[in-house]
Structure 1
Amino acid sequence: MPLYRDQGVVLRTHKLGEADRIVTLLTRGRGLLRAVAKGVRRTSSKFGARLEPFMVADLQCFEGRTLDTITQAETLGAYGPAISADYDRYLAGSVIVETAERLAEGEGSRELYALLVGALRTLAAGRIPPELVRDGYLLRAMSLAGWTPSFDVCARCGAPGPHTAISVQLGGSVCEACRPPGSPRLDPGSLTLLRALLAGDWDAALSSSERERQQAAGIAAAYTQWHLERGLRSFSAPKR
């Protein structure tokens, strides 16, 4: 069987038999990968902890007929313990990796992989509030997937903004002429925050208020789930 190496982020795991796991990863070169890690649930396993959710690893694998097998794993980013130790970070990380898996079901990309690694690194560092890391990732991931939201001009007719009405179905902020009935309106500062998150401008994002963050979070979640055409289970996890 062919042997290969790749880098991957562990998105989730589930048990297989008494001692093995099936590990779902977003890899740098092969996109979404589901592979068997044999014996990792034994206390004597040398690399079980390296294949937990939110970890980034350098992998050696064998190609199989149905599932590949991970034979070696070396840690590149030990983000799992810091994220899992804090409930708010864990919730944000769960949304991030679930979104990454959904986007990679079609075709992964190195850009999507790099964005995911950067988001988990920032989340684990703890210097940026988890909800901002999550929402920034969602907006930029949607942009990489070809669904860049518009927060500067009308998403429908291109009329210069700012426009405070938002339509996730139309792609972002909309002018009064294009605004569908019932479209929510945001505070001007919430639009500023959405622009900052999309651009990765953390200094601007950190200056936002709690109300602005809540409004931006609602739009980021709705926009993501609309384009994925399904809800994200991680959003339904109980808040602290």
Structure 2
Amino acid sequence: MSGRSSFAAHTYRVDAVVLRTHKLGEADRIITLLSSQHGQIRAVAKGVRRTSSKFGGRLEPFMVSDLQLVSGRTLDIISQAVTRSSYGQQIAAHYDRYTVATAMAETAEKLTDADTESAGAQYRLLVGALASLSRGEHSSELILDSYLLRSLATAGWAASFEDCARCGRPGPHSAFSAPLGGAVCHDCRPPGSPSPAAATMLLLAALLSGDWAVADASELVNRREAAGLVASFVQWHLERNVRSLRLVERD
């Protein structure tokens, strides 16, 4: 009886999305998860690489599952997995969606590596972006840039695309500075700051707020310019590269 009580005390359930997997030994995998209740979790799925595995495809990247885990010293162990939302197949069938989902998952992993306070919000944001991506509701690149801006805002780095990010002077302004937080006025503008087109700044504001009517109607030239600014903003505030962004093909 005491053994059962001890096991129960170290068992817990979470809703989680699979961010990344890598091989362990001959048949196991280490699964990096983002959960709604406990933030980022690294756990072992034993025997998952065998054809007879009880997990099937429930622990592939971008899958959302109801999991039962057993706490371990360094890595927890996944004992049960029930699929909640199956986005992996629809995403993997399209190269553009797959590379975008990989970049989003890598960003989520970096943002929640140490930040537990915003993990629940980051989980909901990522699951929503993956759902939209799997259904092809918008351009994959627009979904990515919207996700990147909103995930950084959730982590405490909200960009400004109208008022000056440094002094608050009402905009719109014609310069952008990633280190200062977005749009900057003439007086605050650091030397060499880019001057995006007004339509690009409107697109960036729409991506941050989720105004898809404006985002979907944007021109390709503005999408390209916005993507470059978003990438620089992400790299500056994360203080490290999101390597998967290099794989994303821009139209």
TM-score (norm 1): 0.97
SS at match of 2:105: helix
The 8 Å contact of residues 100 and 248 in structure 2, kept in 1 or not, is answered as no
Distance 1:164 1:69 in 2: 52
Aligned partners of 2:17 and 2:63 also within 8 Å: yes
Deviations 1:139-171 (A, max 9, x none): 001111111101120111111111121000100
1:1-240 equivalent positions in 2, closer than 5 A: 1=7, 2-108=10-116, 109-237=119-247, 239=249
1:143 aligns to what SS in structure 2? helix
Any idea what the Cα deviations from partners look like across 1:160-194, whole Å, max 9, x if unmatched?
11112100010000111111111111111111110
**Structure 1 stretches of 5 or more lacking a match?**
none
Residue 238 of structure 1: how far off its partner (Å): 6.7
* 3-state SS, counterpart of residue 8 of structure 1: strand
CA distance in 2, matches of 1:173, 1:212: 16
The whole-number CA distance in structure 2 between the counterparts of 1:171 and 1:107 is 20
Secondary structure at 2:57's aligned position in 1?
helix
1:23-44 deviation digits (Å, cap 9, x = unpaired): 0000111111000001111111
TM-score (norm 2): 0.93
Structure 2: which amino acid aligns with 1:132?
Answer: L
Deviations 1:49-83 (A, max 9, x none): 01000110000010111111001111111001111
Count of paired positions = 240
Stretches of 4+ moved more than 3 A in 1? Answer: none
Whose Rg is larger? 2
Q: In the aligned structure 2, how far is the partner of 1:161 from the partner of 1:234? A: 33
1:54 aligned partner, one-letter code: F
- SS at the partner of 1:48? coil
